[in-house]
Amino acid sequence: MTNKYLLPLLSAPLMLAACGSGGDGSPTEGEYKQTVKITELDFPGISADVKERTIAQMEQAAGGGTGGLFCMKGGDNGQQWKEAAKQMSGALGGQCETIKDEGSATSLDLEMTCKGTAKGDINIVMTGQANPDGYDSTMSFDIKDPDSGETAKLAMNIGAERQGDCPS
């Protein structure tokens, strides 16, 4: 398994960047700076050098060419958490099923499984907590390679901090 299987998964944290609502303890509308820190990257056959380069590429790509800055809207009472998970399911393809969804407007507690994706079968766990000035969350992926049957692991911390109002 190579990083070609893992790099497309980086779109998941970018989808979470849309999360927020405001007025209910969740992030208020404004411009935020997102940070992504890869905490685990383990797949069969990866050398230490390739692992290090892949982590650097993934963390750099998380900025999306914007330095991690994005604008977040408010007023949805936590529905964007669910929308982000739905978008991620669509991006992964295959048959995705939500196993656990115990989140709220200010918390994320979700587990999904996607079978038959181009990257293999994927189990996803997302947890997090939001506050008026940002959020902190974790995501982990267990990816079973369709060719070898081996399992790869990817985990990351994703956070965002309010920088001010969105530019006009």
Q: What is the pLDDT of residues 87-103, one digit of tens each?
A: 666 677 778 888 998 88
Distance CA 167, CA 13 (A): 22
Question: What's the gap between Cα 19 and its chain centre?
Answer: 11
The terminus-to-terminus CA distance of the chain in angstroms comes to 44
Q: Which residues of the chain have pLDDT under 50?
A: 1-5, 7-8, 10-11, 13-22
Q: What does the pLDDT read at residue 33?
A: 87
Distance CA 26, CA 77 (A): 8
Mean pLDDT of the chain: 77
Residue type, 84: A
